[in-house]
Amino acid sequence: MEEGFKQALIDEFRAMASRYSAPGWIEYLFWETVEGLRDRPFPLLEALPPDEMEVLRMLRDDAQIWVFWRDGQWFVVDIESWRVHTRSRSAHSIMTELCNAGG
């Protein structure tokens, strides 16, 4: 896949994520949504529009990368590493960690 197109997908992911105040968690919510484990990132908000779901699918399936937050910035990882990582860390476990760190 062309690097410019990959960068455009990454930029779109970051723009989508910026709508939520949840860096370090939103990437897990997006992942679980594109994987079909949830029907939307947040139960009380609208589902992602089809074009945004397509961005997530293209990152996962076509570009074979995922975007994640660490130490105040966004990084990119290959999809297989992300798959392995999310087998032991879910959006729920991330929320629990964030809540425990804050109090």
Domains of the chain, residue spans: 3-102
In this structure, the dihedral spanned by the alpha carbons of residues 58, 3, 22 and 53, taken in order and rounded to 10 degrees, is: -20
pTM metric for this prediction: 0.90
Dist CA 38 CA 10 (whole Å): 22
Instruction: Please give the C-alpha separations between residue 5 and each of 15, 70, 72, in angstroms, as whole numbers.
Output: 15, 23, 24
Residue 63 confidence (pLDDT) above 90: yes
pLDDT in tens, 35-46: 999 999 999 999
Mean pLDDT over the full length of the chain: 93
